[in-house]
Structure 1
Amino acid sequence: MNSRNALVRRTSGSRGTGETVAASPPGHDPGWWSLSPERARTLLLVAARPTITALAATVLLVLVVMLTTGTDLTSAPAAVAATWLAAHQVPLTIGRTTLGLLPLVPTAVLVWLAARECARAVPNRPTPVELGWLTGAVLAGPLLMAAVCLAVTGDAAGVTPLESSGPVAAFGWVLVLYLVAAAAGIGSRAWSSLCALVPIEIPEWAVLGARAARRTVLRMLGCGALATAISFFVHLSRLDGAYRQAHNFTDVLGTTLLSLLYLPNVVIGAAGILSGAAVLFGAGSVGLFGVTGGHMPVLPALIPVPEGPASPWWAALLLVPLGVGVLGGIELGRTSDDRPGAPWATLTCAALSTLTFLALAILGSGQLGAVGWVGVDLLMLVVLMVTWFGFGGFVGMVFARRFLTPAAPTEPAEEYDDDTDDYDDDTGDYEDDDYYDDDYDDEDEDVDDEDDDAAEYDDPAVEVDAELVEDFDDELEVSIAAPGSTDEPADDIVDVEVVESDLPDEDKTPGR
């Protein structure tokens, strides 16, 4: 049974699907273009399932909106195509108004779906060719759908006022988003194989810095979300004005849904404000050191934006990014065994955190019609965040080395060889019981030897030979009679013979 399970694991082509790959005939080396039917089916699902899911959700949303608002359904194909492109951050032009500030919730959901589908299809031991096929499958479906949507919006340009920004922007955004999805999906299952594709060796301090950067970004986003929630409740009196353009229940529901879709954009802007950078609204701006008036759209999502002159205590909020950087440095100082490499890990954490926020700020900003460009000041964001995270990280690292006890290093999980029968990847149990039985047998033998030695050398002056007599029931009985004992042997003892010739001279009694 163990050899059979080992064969199943060796032929397993995917962790999630459990597919098997047929063995190649002897002497036949399949080329990189050769795929088994099971593997081709898996790649087809990776290419089609996220795209079909996104298209179905888009069609449903457009139809619901059109039916509730009484819009003519003749423009439904163009609306579906434009909505699909907008979900992938492709700027749109509605009449003479350019809409580049698009919500991030649909984009995040689509990228997550593609990454999850990619992770399910990662083989157990992927080769570069297999990873290339998988990445191509992740990109194939969305790129094909982007071409169809561009063609539909181009044909409907004379009927509807919807236009896309062109094929370069459309294919560029789709390519970038789904490359990120492929990297995330493959990295979650085969990080070592993904790192092996890098032509240079990745040092340990770079890996530690990347992990610390992920935690730093999440903490900073959490602080931005908390600041958004607090400011929302402080300015709750503006809620009536945010819905003044909603005339019925459908308008209220649509405005609320639109605000929820833009919520990640607001959180990213709040994180930028906490770092000291300003959020621009065309000619106006909002920051910790000043608020400049400008035209802002009326949405419930923008209720947390402060108004009026900046208060002096707002500058104290700069301690938030500094504290996040210090906390990251403390973690690196406590967990890093490489003292010369810890400063480089701190710099890596600061650089990667800043680059991640720069990418998020670019995603969460854009042109918003007559308002103008809306988003975080990117130059100020980069300078301030790399300063807070870098300086704070060094302070935390030095503090941890001088005053805190180093944390116990966490050893990486062992990678079990698929060619052995010691571990079952599916059940999580050891299949080869001999792995433990051998050890226990050895221990039992050691205990038996110790017992035999104890019985033999308990009284050095006495040595007794016993005969093992097999009874009629095939049971072994052993009886040892001590010299000079008057007790009669048990009835079930067939025979016991004591050899006096082996006894010491002083224990021999005349007449016995």
Structure 2
Amino acid sequence: MSSRNALVRQTSGSPGTGESAATGSDREPGWWAPPSPERARTLLLVAARPTICALAATVVLVLLVMLTTDTDLTSAPGAVGATWLAAHQVPLTVGKTTLGLLPLVPTAVLLLVAARECARAVPNRPTPIELAWLTGAVLAGPLLMTAVCIAVVGDAAGVTPLQPPGAFTAFGWVIVLYLGAAAAGIGSRAGRSLCASVPIEIPDWAVLGARTARRTVLRMLGCAAVATMISFFAHLSRLDGAYQQAHNVTDVLGMTLLSLLYLPNAVIAAAGLLSGAAVQFGTGSVGLFGVTGAQVPAIPALIPVPEGPASAWWPVLLMIPLAVGVLGGIELGRTSDDRPGAPWATLTSAALATLTFLVLAVLGGGMLGAVGRVGVDLLMLVVLMGTWFGFGGFVGMMFARRFLAPAEPAEPVEDYDDEYDEYDEYDEYDDEDDDDFYYDDDDYDDDPEPDVEVDAELVTDIEDDVEVSIAAPGSAEQPGEDIVDAEVVEPDLPEGGKGTGR
């Protein structure tokens, strides 16, 4: 039990359970209090480990590309700095060409690693100062590495045509991205306890709407991914033209890898296209109602982009976002017990889902050299998705109320923070108290029961059907004279033996 208590003390960082016991103080730290040495080591790992892993992967990737393409290694530092900035969606300028349409796969991997590292470091019962230190640790490593990469790219400007980005833009992107990663990590670990500590009561319809919005976004992205794959196989004849610029196997592998990195960008654009919003390619655009002068680059990632003129059946695809909204409304109608609040939950779900797609469209679009801006029309995206999700959700909610039976309420899921609550009572014991509950194996005998010597005459008297009468406690009636007085004789214990109470 002492080892289990030590594990709880080591993993818990909350006041009064882990760190307060280690520091010997039960007083809650104030805003001025620095973290304890154990907590400081944890924060250092949060700041350094994701950054070091990302930098190592970037260096390996850049060197691999340079060695396979016979590129001079003198430009390796500038390439490493530019790759780090591109992975954080910082626009790059090569000569007079600006590249702002950057792949989302590296960004998603970096943020996922940072969010998981942050979630592991969240204490069981976090205080605001602990969360502030943790958020600062998540930001510290990437910001420091971004500053170094900006300086390296600036120094390499004399060797390569790469221009350093503005410090405000670079640091702004890094801060926004890693604040989102910190929020996701903290929310996944202590979201319920934080919501419970908010002085303003959060209505149930808002929580239900947020959960439905998450499922709505995932469903819409899944439909967009399926539509992208179908369109890819439908336009498979373009594959030869997409690889015309590839001169050897290395070029083919590079273009294929680059297309896979841009796959999330294509899926986000497909989601906007299914909602009715146009996807812009510079001065042209591609939509369900028409294709106007779109200059689509010949790369494998853009093979699924439909060609003009628009077919008459394309507007039928608008039923997909409408059906996704209806499905979300049906879930709200079946699971919500608050009939007056259900419409507000529907509006909340539609608004949050639309906002999520707006953020994804901003991340998935950008400038693409001479082509111009490539991405979804943001204004049309907000109007159309808000309409489909809101109207479809209201229709689904009314349908569920009228024709479907309400779903059984799900069993409450225990909070992750309560996982160690059953062990908190053991923190009251120190190591000396733990010894009181410890028994040595030598204290037990091999025989399951001790030998007991019984008088033979006594056994004979009991077998003669003698009535035994025992008076109940507190009873006025005394037992009769026929009570048998049995005496049990225990065997003599060996010297030095220790009774175990058996």
Q: TM-score range by the shorter chain?
A: 0.7 to 0.9
Per-residue deviation, residues 89-130 of structure 1 (Å, max 9, x unmatched) = 000001111000000000000000000101111111111111
The offset of 1:157, in angstroms, is 1.6
The offset of 1:43, in angstroms, is 0.6
Per-residue deviation, residues 9-31 of structure 1 (Å, max 9, x unmatched) = 4674259xx98664444587655
Identify the residue that residue 456 of structure 1 maps to in structure 2. Answer: none
Per-residue deviation, residues 452-485 of structure 1 (Å, max 9, x unmatched) = xxxxxxxxxxxxxxxxxxx94499x9xxxxxxxx
1:235 aligns with 2:235: yes
Identify the residue that residue 408 of structure 1 maps to in structure 2. Answer: 408
Cα distance in structure 1, aligned partners of 2:367 and 2:113: 27
Q: Taking structure 1 as reference, are residues 301 and 474 closer, same or farther at Cα in structure 2, changes over 3 Å only? A: farther
Identify the residue that residue 336 of structure 1 maps to in structure 2. Answer: 336
The offset of 1:250, in angstroms, is 0.3
Identify the residue that residue 482 of structure 1 maps to in structure 2. Answer: none
The offset of 1:201, in angstroms, is 2.4
The offset of 1:397, in angstroms, is 0.3
Identify the residue that residue 361 of structure 1 maps to in structure 2. Answer: 361
Q: Taking structure 1 as reference, are residues 400 and 312 closer, same or farther at Cα in structure 2, changes over 3 Å only? A: same
Q: Taking structure 1 as reference, are residues 370 and 403 closer, same or farther at Cα in structure 2, changes over 3 Å only? A: same
Cα distance in structure 1, aligned partners of 2:198 and 2:423: 32
Cα distance in structure 2, aligned partners of 1:135 and 1:195: 18
1:55 aligns with 2:24: no
Structure 2 length as normaliser, TM-score?
0.82
Q: Taking structure 1 as reference, are residues 299 and 179 closer, same or farther at Cα in structure 2, changes over 3 Å only? A: same
1:218 aligns with 2:187: no
Q: Taking structure 1 as reference, are residues 404 and 28 closer, same or farther at Cα in structure 2, changes over 3 Å only? A: closer
Cα distance in structure 2, aligned partners of 1:366 and 1:198: 38
Identify the residue that residue 435 of structure 1 maps to in structure 2. Answer: none
Identify the residue that residue 181 of structure 1 maps to in structure 2. Answer: 181
8 Å CA contact 2:157–2:164 kept in 1: the answer is no
8 Å CA contact 1:12–1:21 kept in 2: the answer is no
Identify the residue that residue 496 of structure 1 maps to in structure 2. Answer: 465
The offset of 1:6, in angstroms, is 6.1
Cα distance in structure 1, aligned partners of 2:198 and 2:155: 43
Per-residue deviation, residues 197-222 of structure 1 (Å, max 9, x unmatched) = 65532211111111100000000000
8 Å CA contact 1:128–1:197 kept in 2: the answer is no
SS of 2:313's partner is helix
Cα distance in structure 1, aligned partners of 2:107 and 2:391: 33
Opposite residue 135 of structure 1, the aligned amino acid is: T
1:121 aligns with 2:108: no
8 Å CA contact 2:335–2:406 kept in 1: the answer is yes
8 Å CA contact 2:269–2:279 kept in 1: the answer is yes
Cα distance in structure 1, aligned partners of 2:389 and 2:455: 80
Q: Taking structure 1 as reference, are residues 11 and 303 closer, same or farther at Cα in structure 2, changes over 3 Å only? A: closer
Aligned counterparts, 1:40-439, within 5 A: 40-196=40-196, 198=198, 200-415=200-415, 416=418, 418=420, 420-421=422-423
Cα distance in structure 1, aligned partners of 2:358 and 2:24: 52
Cα distance in structure 1, aligned partners of 2:424 and 2:200: 34
8 Å CA contact 2:88–2:174 kept in 1: the answer is yes
Opposite residue 43 of structure 2, the aligned amino acid is: L
The offset of 1:340, in angstroms, is 1.0
Per-residue deviation, residues 379-398 of structure 1 (Å, max 9, x unmatched) = 00000000000000000000
The offset of 1:339, in angstroms, is 1.1
Opposite residue 87 of structure 1, the aligned amino acid is: A
Cα distance in structure 1, aligned partners of 2:26 and 2:33: 17
8 Å CA contact 1:91–1:164 kept in 2: the answer is no
Structure showing greater radius of gyration is: 1
1:13 aligns with 2:12: yes
8 Å CA contact 2:46–2:117 kept in 1: the answer is yes
Structure 1 portions without partners, runs of 5+: 425-470, 478-489, 501-512
Per-residue deviation, residues 26-57 of structure 1 (Å, max 9, x unmatched) = 58765543222221111101000111111111
Per-residue deviation, residues 314-353 of structure 1 (Å, max 9, x unmatched) = 1110000000000000001101111111111100000000
Per-residue deviation, residues 217-263 of structure 1 (Å, max 9, x unmatched) = 00000000000000000110110000000010000000000000000
Cα distance in structure 1, aligned partners of 2:52 and 2:68: 24
Structure 2 portions without partners, runs of 5+: 427-451, 470-502
8 Å CA contact 2:329–2:394 kept in 1: the answer is yes
Identity of aligned residues (%): 75
Cα distance in structure 2, aligned partners of 1:76 and 1:83: 10
Cα distance in structure 1, aligned partners of 2:304 and 2:23: 63
Per-residue deviation, residues 392-442 of structure 1 (Å, max 9, x unmatched) = 000000000110010011132245485545999xxxxxxxxxxxxxxxxxx
Per-residue deviation, residues 284-306 of structure 1 (Å, max 9, x unmatched) = 11100001122221111111111
Cα distance in structure 2, aligned partners of 1:326 and 1:80: 47
Cα distance in structure 1, aligned partners of 2:277 and 2:12: 49
Say how many residue pairs are matched: 439
Identify the residue that residue 455 of structure 1 maps to in structure 2. Answer: none
Per-residue deviation, residues 129-179 of structure 1 (Å, max 9, x unmatched) = 111111110000001111111111112222211123301110010001101
SS of 1:409's partner is coil
Cα distance in structure 2, aligned partners of 1:21 and 1:77: 45
SS of 2:325's partner is helix
Q: Taking structure 1 as reference, are residues 474 and 380 closer, same or farther at Cα in structure 2, changes over 3 Å only? A: farther
Q: Taking structure 1 as reference, are residues 499 and 285 closer, same or farther at Cα in structure 2, changes over 3 Å only? A: closer
Opposite residue 163 of structure 1, the aligned amino acid is: Q
8 Å CA contact 1:50–1:113 kept in 2: the answer is yes
Opposite residue 183 of structure 2, the aligned amino acid is: A
8 Å CA contact 2:8–2:423 kept in 1: the answer is no
SS of 2:406's partner is coil
SS of 1:117's partner is helix
Q: Taking structure 1 as reference, are residues 247 and 206 closer, same or farther at Cα in structure 2, changes over 3 Å only? A: same
Opposite residue 371 of structure 2, the aligned amino acid is: V
Cα distance in structure 1, aligned partners of 2:28 and 2:349: 44
Q: Taking structure 1 as reference, are residues 370 and 410 closer, same or farther at Cα in structure 2, changes over 3 Å only? A: same
Structure 1 length as normaliser, TM-score?
0.81
Q: Taking structure 1 as reference, are residues 13 and 27 closer, same or farther at Cα in structure 2, changes over 3 Å only? A: closer
8 Å CA contact 2:9–2:18 kept in 1: the answer is no
